[in-house]
Every structure is written in structure tokens, then in C-alpha cells.
Amino acid sequence: MTWSSPGPPLPRTSTLTDVVPIVEEGGVLVLSGAGLSTESGIPDYRGEGGSLRKHTPMTYEEFTTSEEGRQRYWARSHVGWRTIARAHPNAGHHAVTRLSAKLCGVITQNVDGLHQAAGTRDVVELHGGLDRVICLDCRSLSPRAELDRRLREANPDFHATTDEINPDGDVFLPEELVRDFRLVGCRECGGVLKPDVVFFGENVPRPRVEQCYSLVDRAKSLLVLGSSLTVMSGLRFVRRAAGAGTPVVIINRGETRGDPFASLRVDLPLGASLTRLADVVLPPR
């Protein structure tokens, strides 16, 4: 879950000058991470204000083997979902949508749905989406809004609030608020419900990985936005592109694990810089 640079930081630039011709050529594949959503009020895990220092994300093993773990997760996520559901796309998301004509696809490591809310189509959600719930027994999908209503009905006296939201929709709550939280089962079969997201320790479904590899292989360039690339689920696509000689451009605040594979490394705030990039690349109307 964490990564430390093995050596001194690689050279970085704070200008978009060399990014513009790459995007103008088209065929750009975007790979976005939690850093793109921080301006929407959702903190990332590993940036300057990252929540990983204070929060241990739910693991797949704990969720599937511990009813107490599931109770703790759903109580906390029930509160966190309200913040995720209220979040709005920021300037960075809207800039990606504006650049759609220059893109061959968008892969996001985020589970907040903000790319789609900004109007970007055909987004591959590498780690799934918090707006859906899946039954681990019958595999049926249902809307998160429906589960939210059912949990409120099952817990009428539960009124916890917090501002400490995490990228996975989890929050911190005192144990006394969690221990009496009542879970609900699948409407179809009564089975265990899980958010349709990939937990730490869980594998991304292979067909989804292959879909992403196919996009990488077709791309003329890979543009990484707001990801530290600490985990292999995203880093593998950077390595694949670099191995094929495809230019890799990383725009992120701070070092990333993908820096050694980058053709160009830009250190700029994402909202403002992507807006400027779209302004320069797109012809005036």
C-alpha cells in the first residue's frame, strides 16, 4: 500500500509546452488516479494530505471472512457515501471531457464516478464504482442509492457525521457508533452485499485488465493524471506502454512509482493545468 523512491527524484517540469504537441496528435489514453478528484473534496491516499497515513483501507480478506469487519465497513461507508454522492466534477474532469476528440479512451483508478458525471463516455473503471453494489452469492447488481435507503430504514437512530472521507468512500467512526449498526442482505437471495469495487488484496477482473491492455496497445501516447502509481494495477499499464515505445506523460504533484518509465514528467495542479491544456489544444469556436 506504500512505496518509497529508491533514489533521488527524476527531473520534472512545471510547463505544459512539451505536452501540447503530444495531445494535439490525438490517440491519447488517459489513466487517472485519486489526485484528479482532490479538487472535488475527495482526498487521495498518498499525496500531501493523503489519508493512508491515518486510514487502513478495507481488505478483501477481512470483508469476506469477518462479519464484524463488514459491519464496520458498511457503517463507515454509509456515512462516507453521502460525501461521494454529493461530490461534483472539478475543472480537471471537465477538461478531460473537453479533450475527448483527442483521446482513444479513459481508464480511471477512481471509484467516484466523476469522469462520467463530467460527461466523459466509455470510461473503464479499473477498480469498479461505488454507485453499485454486488451480491457475493448470486452476483446480482443493484444501485447504491437503493442500499443507502435500506440501511437508513434498518438504522433509524444512526446519525453519525464526519468530514474525514477517504477515496474508497470509507470514513473513521468511533467503535461505539459502529457496534450496533445493522446490515441488510441481498434482496434477491439474502446474500452478502459488497460495493462493486476492488478492495485491497482483491484482483481486478481479468477481462477488464485485458480491455485496458488493448487500449494501451492502440494508444499513441499515455497520459497519467493524478496517480502515484504505487500499486501494480495501474503501474502495469505504464510499463506496458513504455516497453512498446509509447510516450508516457505523467502529470502529478510529487513523485510517482512510474517516473522511471515516463517520457515527460510534469509537476502541476491538475485542474488549472488541464484547463490550460484544453484551451491550447482545442481550436477556438
**Residues annotated as catalytic (active site), given as ranges:** 127
Q: 45: annotated binding-site residue?
A: yes
Q: 164: annotated binding-site residue?
A: no
Do 16 and 223 form a contact (C-beta atoms < 8 A)? no
Q: 142: annotated binding-site residue?
A: no
Q: 33: annotated binding-site residue?
A: yes
Q: 226: annotated binding-site residue?
A: yes
Angle at 70 between CA 79 and CA 141, to 5 degrees: 80
Q: 77: annotated binding-site residue?
A: no
Q: 233: annotated binding-site residue?
A: no
Q: 41: annotated binding-site residue?
A: yes
Task: Quote the CA–CA distance of 74 and 69 in Å, as a whole number.
Answer: 9
Q: 212: annotated binding-site residue?
A: no
Q: 5: annotated binding-site residue?
A: no
Q: 25: annotated binding-site residue?
A: no
Task: Quote the CA–CA distance of 213 and 274 in Å, as a whole number.
Answer: 25
Do 219 and 241 form a contact (C-beta atoms < 8 A)? yes
Q: 106: annotated binding-site residue?
A: no
Q: 252: annotated binding-site residue?
A: yes
Q: 263: annotated binding-site residue?
A: no
229 contact partners, CB below 8 Å, separation of at least 6: 33, 235, 238, 250, 256, 257, 258
Record the cell numbers describing residue 237, joined without a space: 499499464
66 contact partners, CB below 8 Å, separation of at least 6: none
Do 233 and 40 form a contact (C-beta atoms < 8 A)? no
Q: 270: annotated binding-site residue?
A: yes
- Angle of helix 67-86 relative to helix 144-154, nearest 10 degrees, comes to 120
Do 78 and 53 form a contact (C-beta atoms < 8 A)? no
Task: Quote the CA–CA distance of 101 and 28 in Å, as a whole number.
Answer: 9
First CA to last CA across the chain, in angstroms? 45
- Binding-site sequence positions: 33-53, 109-112, 135, 138, 186, 189, 226-228, 252-254, 270
- Binding-site sequence positions for Zn(2+): 135, 138, 186, 189
- Binding-site sequence positions for NAD(+): 33-53, 109-112, 226-228, 252-254, 270
